A and B are shown apart, each in its own frame.
Chain A
Amino acid sequence: STAPPSPLTRGNEEVFPFPEISNEELQEINQFVGPVEKFFAEEVDSKKIDQDAKIPPETLKGLGDLGLFGMQIPEEYGGLGLSNTMYARLGEIISLDGSIAVTLAAHQAIGLKGILITGTDEQKAKYLPKLASGEHIAAFCLTEPGSGSDAASIQTRATLSEDGKHFLLNGSKVWISNGGLASVFTVFARTEIVEKDGQVKDKITAFIVERDFGGVTHGKPEDKLGIRGSNTCEVHFENTKVPVENVLGEVGGGFKVAMNILNSGRFSMGSASAGMIKKLIEMTAEHACTRKQFNKKLSEFGLIQEKFCFMAVKAYVMESMAYLTAGMMDRPGLPDCSVEAAMVKVFSSEGAWACVSEALQILGGLGYMKDYPYERYLRDSRILLIFEGTNEILRMYIALTGMQHAGKILTDKIKEIKKGNIGLAVQELVNKVRDSTGRKVDYGIMEERGGLVHPSLQESGKKLEENVYYFGTTVRGLLTRFGKTIVDEQLALKRVSDIVINLYAMTAAISRASRSISIGLRNHDHDVLLTNIFCTEAYFKNNYALAQLQKYADENLDDYIKKAAKQILEKRAYICSHPLDRTF
C-alpha cells in the first residue's frame, strides 16, 4: 500500500541495530581523544580568542601537531584517515571552542573536501600533504554578494587563455571563512563551454587556486557576533592565472562538485552540538546544585529540573542522529545520506540554540556576564542556524527530496485514481474509513520475539510506527492535491520536513536505546527514559503537524498567515493604528 518516503524507505536493516564500531577502532579513537581534550583544556584560551577576534598562531600550530587539520585525509597523504564516526567523535571535543571548530571545519569539511572527493591523484598528491599538516590552510569560495544559494547569479568569471593552458580568474567572493589565512582556495566560477550540439553555455567550474598564483587579495576580517576568532573576509581575484590541471572534476561540472561538498560535511554538526551541550549541562548542574535561594537549592525547583531534562534529551537525540548518520555513511556501498545529514544539521542547530539559551537562563544574571562563558556559547551557536545552508533552505531540501522520491512511487497510483478507476477508488475509500476509525499499524518493529527493538521501548516503537503510517497517507494526500506545484507551498513543506526530522530523530533514539539496553551499557535505563520522553513529545508534535496538513483543517493557519504577511509587505511596515489613536 502506501510507502512512506525516505529515509524510512531505506528499510529497517539499515537503522536497526544502531551502527557499532569494533573494539580496535574504539581503542584507537580513545587514544586520540585524550591528547585533544588535554590540549583544549589547557592551551586554548577561548575568552582571549573571542576578545581579540584572532586565533593565536601557537594554537594553530598545536592543532596541526595533533593532526587535526587532516582528520579525514587518508594516511598515505599524511592525514589521520579517520572514518566519519571517528571524525564526529573528535568533533565533540573540538566544538568546545566555536572559532577553532569553524576554522577547522572550513578547512577540511568544505575547503579541501573537493580535492578529496573529486580530485585526481596528482592533485591529491600535490596539495593534500601540506594541507594535512596544517602548513597550508584551505578555504571554500562560493558565496558572492549577489549569490547566496542561487548558483545562477555567480559573477566570477574564468576565461581560457589563448594558449589553452591557463584560466584567467576574475571576481570577488564574500564571507569566506579562513579567507585571510588560507593559501589554497576552492573557487567556483563561470566558464563558457561548448556543448555537443554546438550551443555555448555558461556553466560553473570548480578550481583549486593557490595564493601564489598571484592576483589574490583579501579584505579585512569581518567583525562578527560570534565565532569571532574565525577569520571571515572578502577575497578578490584579479586576473589570477589558474593552470588547466587545477580544474576539479570537469570543466562545467562545478555544480555537482559544490553540491557534493556541501552535502557531505553537515552531519558532524550533530555531535559537535551534543558535545557542547554535555559540557554545558556539567557546568550548569554544578551551579544549580550549589546555589541556594529561598533556602532551597536551585536544583529542587521544578522549572530548573525541566530545563536540565530538556538539555539532556536534546543532547541524547543529537548524538544518536549524528552517529547513526555517520555509521550509515561509513557502511560500504550505501547511497548518499545527504538528506539524513541535512536533518541532523537542522535538528542540532535549533536544539543547540535552545539549549544554550536555557543554560544561560539557569544561571540568570551570571549567565549574562562576560566573565562566564555562557554568552560566548550563545553567540557562537547562533551561526549554526545560518551557515552550511540556512535551516529554511534545508527544510525545503529535505521535504522536496522526499516528495520527489514519494512522488515517483505514487504517481501511477494517483493517476489511476484521478482517471476514475472505480475499484481503486473503492479500495481507497475503505482504507480511509479504516484509518479514521483507528487502525492498528504494524511494521514489524515491535514483535514479541525477534523484533528489532527491546520490549521496554514498546510504547515509543508503536508511536513511531503510527506516525510513519499516517505520514505516508498525508504525503499521498498532499501529492494528490498539489502535484509538482508543491514546490511553491513552503508552509506545507515546512511541516512535512518537521515531521520527517522528528521521525528520523525518534528512529535514531529508539535504535540507540535498544542497543544500549540490550548490551547493558552503564545507565541504560536513563537512555530508555530519555527516549520515551522524546518519543512522546515528538509523537504529539507530529500528530499536530499532520492535522494541520489536512485540507480545510482548523489548525491550518497558512492562508491567514499569508494574507497578513501580504498586507504588511505591501506597506513595508506595521500597519495597525496605535492603541491610543482616536477617531473623534
Chain B
Amino acid sequence: MRLSWARAFPLRLWGGCRGPKMRRVTGIEWAARPMCHSSSDAPEPPSDHGSQNTPRDEEQGGPAAFAAALEELERAPGRRLGRLELVAAALAAMPALGVARQLDAYNRLLRLLPRGPWVPRGPLHRLFAPFPRQQECGLQVLEQMERYGVMPDAETRFLLLAVFGPRSRPVRKCQRMLYWLPRMLHANPYPLPAQLPPPGLAAACLGLRRIANDPDARLSVYQQPQPEQGDNEGSTQPYIVGIQSAEQQELLARHGPEHPVFVEGPFPRPPPPRLFYYVLRGDPLPPHLREPPPDPERSLYYPLYLDLDLERGPWDDDEFDVNEVEEGPVFALCMAGTGDQRTLAKWIAGLQQTNPVLGQTPVIFRLGDGDSSAGSPGDGDALHLEGSRAAELEPPEVAWGRRAQGEG
C-alpha cells in the first residue's frame, strides 16, 4: 500500500489541484493524500452507536452497545474514510456508555486504525511532522485513557507501534504514561473505594471514617433513617451518625464543664458524594490548664522531666511553623440527614451516654451555612441537655426563625 515518494509525488500534486471531491476516494488516492484530509469526506455517522441503544436501558446497555458497535465496524473494515472522526466520536460517546474505564474498549478502538500507512518512512519524513492529525487522534485516545486513569497495557503499546511506528508521538506518550500513571494512581494515600455507596447512611459512614482517619475511632449510628433504604431514604426520619475516638473522649472529659463546647457546621465535603458534617469542638484552653503539671512521682524507673534550666537550641528547634494556627480541640464529628438543631440535639444526647460530662457542659449551636467557622454568636442558645427532652424544648420552626433573624 505504501508508494515510494517518487511515485507518490505526482499523485499528490494531481490530488491537490483537483480540490476536494464529494465522493469516496479509492485506496491509492487515500494513501496519496495524507496531508489534505478534510472533514467533508463522509464521516462515520455516530448514529451507528445510537442505533443499538434505543430499545434498552441506557445504563445497562451502554457497554454492550459499544461492544456491538465495535463489532459491526470490525466486520466491515473497508472504510478508509472518516476514521479519525470515528475515533473522535467513539471517544466522546464512551463516558456516556460507561466504558470509559475499560482498557478493552480502547484496545478494540485502536484496532480499527490502519497499521502501516501512518508509519513515517525514514528519518527525513519524521523531520517534517508526519501525519499530524492522525497522531493527534492517537494522542486523543491516550489522553482520554489518562483522564480516566486507565493503564495502557502491552497490547495497547503493540497496536500503537504498529499504527504509528516507533518514535512517534503516541508511542512516546504511551511510554510516558506507563511511567507516570502508576505513580499518579498510587499517589493518593487515602483512595476512595471503587464502588461508592449511594448517598445516605452508608455514604455518611464512609465519609466520616475518611474524615476521622483514625483506626481507633468508634462510629455510632444514633438514629437509623426511616424508611431504611431506597430512593426516599430518610424522608420520615433522618439518619444521625457520629464518630469519636477514645482520645477525644478523654480530652472532652478533661475540658471540664466550665468551658462551653460548640456545635458547628455544616461543613461541606466536596468529593462525591456531597456530604456535610458537623463538629463538636471547644475553644483552646489557656496554657496553664492545657496539660497537667509535671508530676515527679509519675514514673517508677526513670525521670520524665529533667530539672535543668536549659532550653532547646535554636538550630534544633523544629516546632515553630508560621502556618500553624492555634485551634481548639475537636471532640466529635457527625453527619446527619438534615442539619437542624433538633437532629443535632439528638446527636448530643447520644454522645452523652459515652461522655457523661456533656450533661453539665453548656452546648452552643453555631449552625451557619457553609464554612463559617466563627458563626454569629446570636445563633443558638446555651442548652443544658438532660436526655432527649432537650429536643422538645424548642419547636424547630421557632429555632429556624430565630436563626434567620439572627443572620438577617
Are B310 and A393 within 8 A (Cβ)?
no
Q: Which of B198-206, B239-247, B295-303, B385-393 contacts A (4 or more CB under 8 A)?
A: B295-303
A269, chain B: closest CB distance, angstroms: 15
Contact of A483 among B181, B299, B302, B310 (CB under 8 A): B310
Are A584 and B178 within 8 A (Cβ)?
yes
In the complex, what distance in Å separates the CA atom of A407 from the CA atom of B310?
8
Instruction: Check A151/B312 contact, CB under 8 A, given A404-B306, A487-B305, A583-B151.
Output: no
Tell yes or no: B253 within 8 A of A by CB: no
The chain B residue with its CB closest to the CB of A407 is B308
Are B300 and A415 within 8 A (Cβ)?
no
In the complex, what distance in Å separates the CA atom of A149 from the CA atom of B300?
6
Are B310 and A204 within 8 A (Cβ)?
no
B192, chain A: closest CB distance, angstroms: 17
Are B301 and A393 within 8 A (Cβ)?
yes
Q: Which residues 275-304 in B have Cβ within 8 Å of A in the complex?
A: 295, 297-304
In the complex, what distance in Å separates the CA atom of A415 from the CA atom of B309?
9
In the complex, what distance in Å separates the CA atom of A492 from the CA atom of B301?
19
Are B309 and A482 within 8 A (Cβ)?
no
Are A397 and B302 within 8 A (Cβ)?
yes
Are B307 and A404 within 8 A (Cβ)?
yes
Instruction: Check A411/B310 contact, CB under 8 A, given A584-B153, A584-B154.
Output: yes
Are A411 and B308 within 8 A (Cβ)?
yes
B159, chain A: closest CB distance, angstroms: 14
Tell yes or no: A474 within 8 A of B by CB: no
Tell yes or no: B315 within 8 A of A by CB: yes
Are B315 and A411 within 8 A (Cβ)?
no
Question: Hey, which chain A residues are within 8 Å of B299, CB to CB?
Answer: 149-151
Question: Hey, which chain A residues are within 8 Å of B151, CB to CB?
Answer: 583-584
Tell yes or no: A485 within 8 A of B by CB: yes
A251, chain B: closest CB distance, angstroms: 14
The chain B residue with its CB closest to the CB of A395 is B302
Q: Which residues 78-136 in B have Cβ within 8 Å of A in the complex?
A: none
Instruction: Check A481/B316 contact, CB under 8 A, given A407-B308, A584-B152.
Output: yes
Tell yes or no: B191 within 8 A of A by CB: no
Are B301 and A389 within 8 A (Cβ)?
yes
Q: Which residues 332-348 in B have Cβ within 8 Å of A in the complex?
A: none
Are B306 and A393 within 8 A (Cβ)?
no
Question: Hey, which chain B residues are within 8 Å of A486, CB to CB?
Answer: 306
Instruction: Check A151/B315 contact, CB under 8 A, given A407-B310, A484-B305, A584-B178.
Output: no
Q: Which residues 303-360 in B have Cβ within 8 Å of A in the complex?
A: 303-313, 315-316
Are B313 and A484 within 8 A (Cβ)?
no
Q: Which residues 132-185 in A have Cβ within 8 Å of B in the complex?
A: 142, 149-152
Tell yes or no: B215 within 8 A of A by CB: yes
A558, chain B: closest CB distance, angstroms: 12
A203, chain B: closest CB distance, angstroms: 7
Are A482 and B312 within 8 A (Cβ)?
yes
Are A483 and B307 within 8 A (Cβ)?
no
Instruction: Check A484/B302 contact, CB under 8 A, given A551-B315, A584-B152.
Output: no
A455, chain B: closest CB distance, angstroms: 40
Are A485 and B309 within 8 A (Cβ)?
no
Tell yes or no: B182 within 8 A of A by CB: yes
Residue of B181, B300, B304 with most chain A CB atoms under a 10 A cut-off: B300
Are B215 and A572 within 8 A (Cβ)?
yes
Instruction: Type the 1/0 row for A383-412, where 1 means its CB is closer than 8 Å to any CB of B.
Output: 000000100011011001101100110010
Are B306 and A407 within 8 A (Cβ)?
yes
Tell yes or no: A550 within 8 A of B by CB: no
Question: Hey, which chain A residues are within 8 Å of B307, CB to CB?
Answer: 404, 484
In the complex, what distance in Å separates the CA atom of A149 from the CA atom of B152?
57
Question: Hey, which chain A residues are within 8 Å of B298, CB to CB?
Answer: 150-152
B residues contacting the other copy or chain, number (CB 8 A): 28
In the complex, what distance in Å separates the CA atom of A152 from the CA atom of B299?
7
Are A404 and B303 within 8 A (Cβ)?
yes
Question: Hey, which chain B residues are within 8 Å of A152, CB to CB?
Answer: 295, 297-298
Are B153 and A151 within 8 A (Cβ)?
no
Q: Which residues 439-486 in A have Cβ within 8 Å of B in the complex?
A: 479-486
The chain B residue with its CB closest to the CB of A575 is B189
In the complex, what distance in Å separates the CA atom of A374 from the CA atom of B40?
92
Are A151 and B308 within 8 A (Cβ)?
no
Are A484 and B297 within 8 A (Cβ)?
no
In the complex, what distance in Å separates the CA atom of A400 from the CA atom of B154?
60
A residues contacting the other copy or chain, number (CB 8 A): 39
In the complex, what distance in Å separates the CA atom of A120 from the CA atom of B305?
33
The chain B residue with its CB closest to the CB of A147 is B300
Are B310 and A583 within 8 A (Cβ)?
no
Q: Which residues 338-396 in A have Cβ within 8 Å of B in the complex?
A: 389, 393-394, 396
Tell yes or no: A301 within 8 A of B by CB: no
Question: Hey, which chain A residues are within 8 Å of B302, CB to CB?
Answer: 393-394, 396-397, 400-401
Q: Which residues 151-186 in B have Cβ within 8 Å of A in the complex?
A: 151-154, 178, 181-182
Are B305 and A479 within 8 A (Cβ)?
no
B116, chain A: closest CB distance, angstroms: 25
Instruction: Type the 1/0 row for B179-223, where 1 means its CB is closer than 8 Å to any CB of A.
Output: 001100000000000000000000000000000000100000000
Question: Hey, which chain A residues are within 8 Å of B303, CB to CB?
Answer: 397, 400-401, 404, 487
Residue of B151, B153, B181, B316 with most chain A CB atoms under a 10 A cut-off: B316
Q: Which of A93-101, A215-223, A255-263 contacts B (4 or more CB under 8 A)?
A: A255-263
Tell yes or no: A414 within 8 A of B by CB: yes
A404, chain B: closest CB distance, angstroms: 5
B298, chain A: closest CB distance, angstroms: 5
Are B306 and A484 within 8 A (Cβ)?
yes
Instruction: Type the 1/0 row for A196-229, where 1 means its CB is closer than 8 Å to any CB of B.
Output: 0000000110000000000000000000000000
B103, chain A: closest CB distance, angstroms: 9
Question: Hey, which chain A residues are within 8 Å of B311, CB to CB?
Answer: 483-485
Are B313 and A480 within 8 A (Cβ)?
yes
Question: Hey, which chain B residues are within 8 Å of A551, CB to CB?
Answer: 315-316
The chain A residue with its CB closest to the CB of B305 is A487
Are A203 and B153 within 8 A (Cβ)?
no
Instruction: Type the 1/0 row for A51-65, where 1 means its CB is closer than 8 Å to any CB of B.
Output: 000000000000000
B108, chain A: closest CB distance, angstroms: 18
Are B301 and A411 within 8 A (Cβ)?
no
The chain B residue with its CB closest to the CB of A552 is B315
Are A487 and B300 within 8 A (Cβ)?
no
Instruction: Check A483/B305 contact, CB under 8 A, given A255-B300, A262-B300, A584-B151.
Output: no
The chain B residue with its CB closest to the CB of A483 is B310
Question: Hey, which chain B residues are within 8 Å of A151, CB to CB?
Answer: 297-300
Are B308 and A483 within 8 A (Cβ)?
yes
Question: Hey, which chain A residues are within 8 Å of B181, CB to CB?
Answer: 583
Are A258 and B315 within 8 A (Cβ)?
no
In the complex, what distance in Å separates the CA atom of A480 from the CA atom of B308?
12
In the complex, what distance in Å separates the CA atom of A408 from the CA atom of B182?
56
In the complex, what distance in Å separates the CA atom of A572 from the CA atom of B316?
29
In the complex, what distance in Å separates the CA atom of A203 from the CA atom of B297?
9
In the complex, what distance in Å separates the CA atom of A156 from the CA atom of B300?
16
Question: Hey, which chain A residues are within 8 Å of B301, CB to CB?
Answer: 149, 262, 389, 393-394, 396-397
Residue of B299, B301, B308 with most chain A CB atoms under a 10 A cut-off: B301
Are B308 and A484 within 8 A (Cβ)?
yes
Question: Hey, which chain A residues are within 8 Å of B295, CB to CB?
Answer: 152
B124, chain A: closest CB distance, angstroms: 34
Are B309 and A411 within 8 A (Cβ)?
yes
Question: Hey, which chain B residues are within 8 Å of A259, CB to CB?
Answer: 300
List 22 A–B pairs whose Cβ atoms lie within 8 Å, in order of A's numbering.
A151-B299, A152-B295, A203-B297, A259-B300, A262-B300, A397-B302, A397-B303, A404-B306, A404-B307, A404-B308, A408-B308, A480-B310, A481-B312, A481-B313, A484-B311, A485-B311, A487-B304, A487-B305, A551-B315, A583-B181, A583-B182, A584-B178
| Interface residues of B, Cβ cutoff 8 Å to A | 151-154, 178, 181-182, 215, 295, 297-313, 315-316
The 8 tightest CB contacts between A and B, nearest first, are A483-B310, A397-B302, A583-B182, A407-B308, A255-B297, A396-B302, A484-B306, A484-B308
15 additional A-B pairs beyond A394-B301, A482-B316, beta carbons within 8 Å, are A142-B300, A152-B295, A152-B298, A259-B300, A262-B301, A394-B302, A396-B302, A400-B306, A411-B309, A414-B310, A479-B310, A481-B315, A482-B312, A483-B308, A484-B310
